[in-house]
Structure 1
Amino acid sequence: MELDLRVAIEGVKSYVVPDLGIGFVDREFEVGKLLGEYIRGRGYEHLMVVTGPWGCGKSQFARAIVHALSKVGNYIAVYVDLTQEEIGKVVYPLHTKVSEVLMKLISEVLGDVVKIPLYLYQLFTELRRVTELKGKVFLLIIDEVTRSLEKYKLSIRDFISCMSMKIFEIRNEVGLESLYSIVLTSEQTAMQYFLREIGKNMYVYLLWNLPREAHDLLLSRLGIPPSLSTELLWRLTGGNPREVKCLRDFNWDVNEYVSARIELM
């Protein structure tokens, strides 16, 4: 089933960012690149690694994509956050058969969230028992995958090699039309090793901060005081959504924000 990018983009826009309380801003181009060029059909399901600076919005972008694909009948999409310790926050969306199986697998079998990338066979075996997978397109997004690799001492090269085989073997075993796997990382040291493996059954995509127009739209939706200069905030944040949120948390007090940033240096 060919993915309608217009539906996907509208779905991304309808996602509400939890800690901002507003609809997702921008990223139409990124949706087109990531979904339009990566989700191309059976046989193209190589690992995709998405990287970018801290706070650029990778995690929320991933959740927005999962939200969007939930509106497409033949797709199953799930986001797994390896940075979370509270099991109810590990999986998105909640209250689905997929999330129930994942949380049960973590709590009753694995005992550790970061084991998930290492136990994909078991995950899909359990999923097949409770939901129909045959003919479906499945997208699995794993956030901060390096936590798993570091803890269980699996090299990036071995991880890529292992995933390259698992994707196709699991797809065939459970009868999926396609199985796509996207992993996110902000660890730039680890990213150097991922980049060395480009072309070996793996793609890399760089997600950057918001462009100026999208940054200003974000500020507008968050309701910045009229007296504040968007040019000044652009120079301070560089279009980084997390920094914009931090500014809002300081009630748009630029002096307090800058002082706090200096203390962190």
Structure 2
Amino acid sequence: MKTMENIVKSLEEYLVPSLNINFVDRLCETRQILNIIDRMKIGSWIHVVTGPWGCGKSEWARALVYALNKIDEYNVIYLDLTEKEIDKFYATTKMELIELIEDVIKEIAGDRAKIPWYVYRVLKEIYVKMKTRSRDLIIIFDEITYAIRRDRYELEAFVNSLGQKLIAIANEYSCKAHAIVITSDQLASRYFTLLSGKLLSNYVMWNLDKNSFSKLVKSLNSPLDIDSLWKIIGGNPRALAEIWLNYDWNLSYYIERQIDKVGVSIREKAIEISNRRNITYDDAICLIYDELDRALDNIGELDTILLWDVLLRENIAIYVDNRFHKLSELPPDTWISSRCAFQLPIYYWILKAIAEHRTLNVDVESVMKFLP
């Protein structure tokens, strides 16, 4: 397929601005999502993509828009709802599209965060002014919960509204109109799974596979052993960048930060349990240790423990069950099951040390002893 070959070539040419390196391999994910859109008989659909925090969803989306612009067969729009600056908000979106969208924004009080609710108006402006009738549309909303509250009913209202507006555009301009909605918010992702079938499918993208991760590590000239990094961050690009930029490749400092993150989350949950059940803090924390002992030997049961909602909220764990189409292949490993997984392996090893020693005061050395 010539078009796909050109898209793949352009993906590899895309330069990641924050790291000043070429984009590293998301070819499988790109082929999958575009083939799904191409094969769909219905003209409009919403594709919700989640995955571990920092796995590269946003950079993939920006690279995808860059690559699709090169073949010039789609109207493709990227909107980063975490950003205020115009160049970062639209990133790789074509300038002519940005100008048309900005014209509409001026009419809606100049607030770009309102775009999710004014999709029909924005898209109609594009199709009328650019005279691109029949050209298929892909609009990407990156981190949607920065514009829409993390509330089941608000998210449902957004999905219903967006679905109807995409249908209207598809019918009016004889094109396909698809939205890719990206979220790292696992509580929002859980609500989106309840809406599957309402012109909506859910997908999970994973961290880089080991070959791609090795390529990224080498491109950053890391002095660290690739196998050691893999056992700690499991191919997560943002964690790798954090170890480089924030800790100057000092893994111990990075692990200390993750120990603190996990410890704070457990303390907060223990206090909540103590207050709700009218038991002592010590009894509450022991209850958490007991549950961790059980669940860490069977990751598929992780969502049955009291700590689960905290693990989701803090982006420590994630659902990966069959409600999600797998855009990426999940590697077989101790910290991943067919239902639940830790977003980074280091979280599993930290919790293993905490459960084993029955204390939150674990150190880097005691955590590292659990690594294979």
Q: 1:128 to 1:36 in 2, by over 3 A?
A: closer
For residue 254 of structure 2, what is the aligned residue in structure 1?
257
Looking at structure 1, the residues matched to 209 and 9 of structure 2 have their Cα atoms a distance apart, in angstroms, of 19
Q: 1:54 to 1:184 in 2, by over 3 A?
A: same
| Deviation by residue 1:84-137 (Cα, 9 ceiling, x = unmatched) | 122332112256211112234335534222211100122123223431221211
Q: 1:3 to 1:139 in 2, by over 3 A?
A: farther
For residue 127 of structure 1, what is the aligned residue in structure 2?
126
For residue 50 of structure 2, what is the aligned residue in structure 1?
51
| Deviation by residue 1:124-170 (Cα, 9 ceiling, x = unmatched) | 23223431221211211011112322189962222222222211202
> Would you say the 8 A contact 2:49–2:182 is kept in 1?
yes
For residue 68 of structure 2, what is the aligned residue in structure 1?
69
Looking at structure 2, the residues matched to 205 and 38 of structure 1 have their Cα atoms a distance apart, in angstroms, of 13
Alignment of 1:143-162 (within 5 A): 143-150=142-149, 155-162=154-161
Q: 1:3 to 1:159 in 2, by over 3 A?
A: farther
Alignment of 1:60-139 (within 5 A): 60-93=59-92, 96-107=95-106, 109-139=108-138
For residue 299 of structure 2, what is the aligned residue in structure 1?
none
For residue 233 of structure 1, what is the aligned residue in structure 2?
229
TM superposition outliers: structure 1 runs of 4+ over 6 Å = none
The amino acid across from 1:203 in the alignment is S
Q: Which has the higher contact order (CA 8 A, sep 6+)?
A: 1
Gaps of 5+ in 1: none
> Would you say the 8 A contact 1:92–1:99 is kept in 2?
no
Secondary structure of the structure 2 residue equivalent to 1:141: strand
Q: 1:110 to 1:207 in 2, by over 3 A?
A: farther
Looking at structure 2, the residues matched to 20 and 132 of structure 1 have their Cα atoms a distance apart, in angstroms, of 37
The amino acid across from 1:230 in the alignment is I
For residue 196 of structure 1, what is the aligned residue in structure 2?
194
Q: 1:192 to 1:151 in 2, by over 3 A?
A: closer
The amino acid across from 1:254 in the alignment is L
- Give the superposition deviation at 1:176: 4.8
Secondary structure of the structure 2 residue equivalent to 1:19: coil
Q: 1:241 to 1:33 in 2, by over 3 A?
A: same
Secondary structure of the structure 1 residue equivalent to 2:252: helix
Q: 1:37 to 1:128 in 2, by over 3 A?
A: closer
- Give the superposition deviation at 1:38: 2.2
TM-score (norm. length: structure 2) = 0.65
Q: 1:193 to 1:251 in 2, by over 3 A?
A: same
For residue 33 of structure 1, what is the aligned residue in structure 2?
32
Secondary structure of the structure 2 residue equivalent to 1:49: strand
Identity of aligned residues (%): 33
Secondary structure of the structure 1 residue equivalent to 2:138: strand
TM-score (norm. length: structure 1) = 0.89
Gaps of 5+ in 2: 263-372
For residue 142 of structure 1, what is the aligned residue in structure 2?
141
> Would you say the 8 A contact 1:84–1:90 is kept in 2?
yes
Which of residues 175, 197, 215 is equivalent to 1:177? 175
For residue 244 of structure 2, what is the aligned residue in structure 1?
248
Looking at structure 2, the residues matched to 259 and 152 of structure 1 have their Cα atoms a distance apart, in angstroms, of 33
Which of residues 205, 208, 211 is equivalent to 1:210? 208
Moved more, 147-156 or 192-201: 147-156
Could you say which structure has the larger radius of gyration? 2
Looking at structure 2, the residues matched to 235 and 253 of structure 1 have their Cα atoms a distance apart, in angstroms, of 15
For residue 267 of structure 2, what is the aligned residue in structure 1?
none
For residue 12 of structure 1, what is the aligned residue in structure 2?
11
Moved more, 164-173 or 184-193: 164-173
Q: What is the number of equivalent residue pairs in this alignment?
A: 261
Looking at structure 1, the residues matched to 153 and 105 of structure 2 have their Cα atoms a distance apart, in angstroms, of 20
